[in-house]
Structure formats: structure tokens, C-alpha cells
Amino acid sequence: MTIETEEIRLEPCEPGALTPDELRTLFLFEKLTDEQLRWLADHGCTMRVPGGGLVVREGDPAESFFVLLTGTIALTRRVGADDVETTRTEQRGVYMGATQAYLRDDGVPRKYQASMRALSDSEFFTVSAADFGRLMREWFPMAIHLLEGLALGIASSQAAIGERQRLAALGALSAGLMHELNNPAAAAARATGALRQRVAAMRMKLGKLAAGKVAPDRLTALLELQEEVIERAAKAPVLTAMQTADLEDELGDWMEEHNITGGWDVAPVFAQGGIDTECLSQIEARLASAELLDQAIHWIGYALETEQLMTDIEDATGRVSSLVSAAKQYSHLDRAAHQWIDVHGGLDSTLVMLGHKIGEGVRVVKDYDRTLPQVPAHPAELNQVWTNLIDNAVHAMKGQGTLTIRTYREDDTVVVSVADDGPGMPAEVRKRVFEPFFTTKPVGEGTGLGLDISYRIVVNGHGGDIQVSSEPGNTRFLVRLPITEPASV
């Protein structure tokens, strides 16, 4: 039975069982006045827990303050899939539970930070969190100010570090995005330059054609021919490099036979458009004039080329828009914070955003179950999780390997698995990966916060779970997200 499902069965507690003098023997209370001890004796009670029993569960509302009287206890914290024992003690007087109940209530109920189990039959002196908080504030007002300052300091330095990590991640990401955007933008600019030249040349050619005493009906025929060829090019099957080279040769020969000026230069344009010699012969037949044929071939060549350049521009600008929309989806700039989402959108946009980082050497396998239900989530936060997991996987594989992203349903959860075939990690690393600042990267390279943040997003923010399994060649992070709305989201 795991701690999450285990029931807490405490014996009823006995109020006023300890006298002020007995309480004074506990180191925590030794300096209290008689009056204070009396108050404590009246408000506290004594509780017995049989060996093996769970006393408090991590994450439950912190309702009581405990002082150990007899017995042995162990404290554990949940780290990833494991319960890690942090303390084991039989020291009389140690305290735990609602130890921070005296801090000013900022509207968020405090929770137990660890689970506590009695390892042998144990006895505790307990006070309710409310009473404990009240006595601390009333009896030690100055100490409370100092403690509050300390707690605030720790919280704000944690927030600052988290913010810093997010900024660093954002910086790396926008650098990647800029790189990705640069290629299509440069391609579009190049194609536009070439297009301008071709269009200028076409205007000249049109002038020549018109001046060449071509009968108007011939000119009309030529224009019709041009449209047919372009339509044909648009539907042309994609050829292999080898097939294209063969076609170029054939076309070049045909042009040479028909004395087309610069025939070998225009041949590749026709080959790319999927135009074969048969089609050229049809053109020849339709024109029935050797002189016009030369002009017509070049004219159609230009038309094909401009068409191809415009397709290039369309592709490049399309790529720019799809990158921008991936970036938008990734950061969810345009949406509300918490919503019902299909996990695949976020996974895909994260993959696009990290495209540059993933690189050529990594094969990405997507094994999605498209029938998965939507989950209640903060999409931008989940994208941080996917980013951290994918980033770690790519780093582990050193740019070479297979990254497998799988989604499937298990009971009432949607599972996202991010797996890599890198070297994996030894058990002592695996146990610690979710700890803040744990990293095996050289100083300055990794913050060791990636998985800590991911853990907090998935577990605290979404009521889900994140687990890792690893052996050489197979490291797998499993993120489970509940498909029903948890109270905390």
C-alpha cells in the first residue's frame, strides 16, 4: 500500500494527560513559565499510535503539531516515484507536523511537508495548529517577526531562482527560434531577388515577341500553351535526383537537335517542372515555326521558373507563419491560463520550437494516441515540462539517437512518455534527478532545476505524477495527468 492510499487511523487522543511538570521535561518547553505550561497542558493532548501506523501524510492540511514522547518514527518525502526517508529518530522531544503554524496566514492553508510513520508503538503530545500558532504569536512576538522574515527570504530567493531559470530557458528558446526563422526568411529574400530578374527578362521577351511580327493568334496560342505547361508542372510527380538528371539530359539533347539557344541552360528548368520531350514536341507542333519555337521555349522557361520561385516564396513564408504559430501556441500568449487541452498540440509545438536544438542526428518518433481525452491544464506550464524532458534527452544522447514521444491512456490519466536511447543514468543519479540543483552537468552549464520545476508543475500544479526509469539505451520519463479536474488546478 502506498502512502497516498493508506488510511490514517489514529487512536482517540487523551486531553490533559500530561502535567505541566512532565511537559517541562521536553526540551522544547523547558523554559516556559508555569502559567504557559498550564495553558499547554490544558490545550494539548496525548496520542498513541501503533507501530507501522501512518501519523501524517505529506500534502494533507497541517492540522496538528506533534512532539514525540516515546517510540521511533520516520519522516519520508515523495521524490518522483520514490518515498525518500529523510529522518528516523527515537529522540524524546523531537517535534514535527504543523511547525510553521505561527506564520501569518496568507490565505493558503499550510500542508504537511513530509509523511510521518510510527515505526514502533509511539506516543505523541499534540497541539492543534491553531492553538500552537496562537501561543507562538502571543508568547514570542519578536521571534515570530524574525522567523517570518526568514521564511519570506527563502521564498523570495526561490522565486528569483525559478524566474531566472525560466528566463534562461526563454533565452535559449528564442535563440533557437531566431535561427529557425532565419533560414526561410533568407530563402524568401533570395527567391524574391531571382524573381525580380526573371520578371524583368520576361517583359523584354514579350517586347521581342510582339515586335517579331508574330500573328496575334500565334501569340494567343503561345499564352495558352504557357498556362498548360504551368498547370502540368504543378501536377508533376516528384522525381528522384537520378530521374531528374536523366530527364535533364534528354531535354538538353532535344534542345540541341532543335537549335534552341542556350538549350542546356533551360533544360533543368523544364526537368524540374516535370516537362518531358514529348511535351516539347507537342509545343513544337502547335507553333509550326522554328524561329518562334526558340522564343517560345525561353518564354515558357521563364514562366516555369517564376512559378517555381513563387512556390519557394510561398513555402518559406508558410514556414515562417507555422513557426510563429508554434511559438504562439508554445507560450500561449493568446489564451487564458487554465483550460482543457489536447496534450498533442503542446508536444508538437515544443518539438518545433526545439527543432534547432534536436538537430539532424536525432530521429524523432511520435507514437500518439489521438483518441486521448482532453486534460485540464496550464498549457504554457506543461510546455515547460516537455521542453525540460526533451532537452535532457537530447543532451543525454549527445545529438545522436532516437527520441520517442508516446501518449496513451492509463486508468483516469493521460500518460506522456519521453524516452531516449542515450546512456541512461546510474541508480544514485536516478534517485536524485528531481532534487533542486541536482545536476551532473559541469558548473555553469546546467542549473539542475529543469526536473525540479517539471516535478512541481506536474505534481503540485496539475495533481499528476512524474516518474523515471533508466537503463543504458532506454531512459523514460512518464508524466501522468489526471483527466478530471483536481481541486488544486
Interacting residue ranges for ligand ATP, rule: CB under 6 A: 388, 392-393, 396, 420, 422, 424-425, 429, 433, 438-441, 446-452, 475
Output the smallest distance, CB 380 to ligand ATP, in A. Answer: 18
Nearer of residues 424 and 464 to ligand ATP, judged by Cβ: 424
Nearer of residues 260 and 425 to ligand ATP, judged by Cβ: 425
The amino acid at 355: G
79 binds, among ligand ATP, Mg ion, none (CB under 5 to 8 A by kind): none
Q: Does 463 bind Mg ion (CB under 5 A)?
A: no
Output the smallest distance, CB 392 to ligand ATP, in A. Answer: 3
Q: Does 392 bind Mg ion (CB under 5 A)?
A: yes
Nearer of residues 26 and 382 to ligand ATP, judged by Cβ: 382
Question: Is the C-alpha dihedral spanning 231, 235, 237, 238 positive or negative?
Answer: positive
303 binds, among Mg ion, ligand ATP, none (CB under 5 to 8 A by kind): none
Nearer of residues 28 and 159 to ligand ATP, judged by Cβ: 159
CA neighbor of 134 nearest in space, from 264, 269, 43: 43
Nearer of residues 97 and 450 to Mg ion, judged by Cβ: 450
483 binds, among ligand ATP, Mg ion, none (CB under 5 to 8 A by kind): none
447 binds, among Mg ion, ligand ATP, none (CB under 5 to 8 A by kind): ligand ATP
Q: Which residue in the set 450, 461, 464, 482 belongs to the binding site for Mg ion (CB under 5 A)?
A: 450
Nearer of residues 218 and 476 to Mg ion, judged by Cβ: 476
Output the smallest distance, CB 480 to ligand ATP, in A. Answer: 18
* Closest residue by beta carbon to Mg ion: 450
Binding site for Mg ion (CB under 5 A): 392, 450
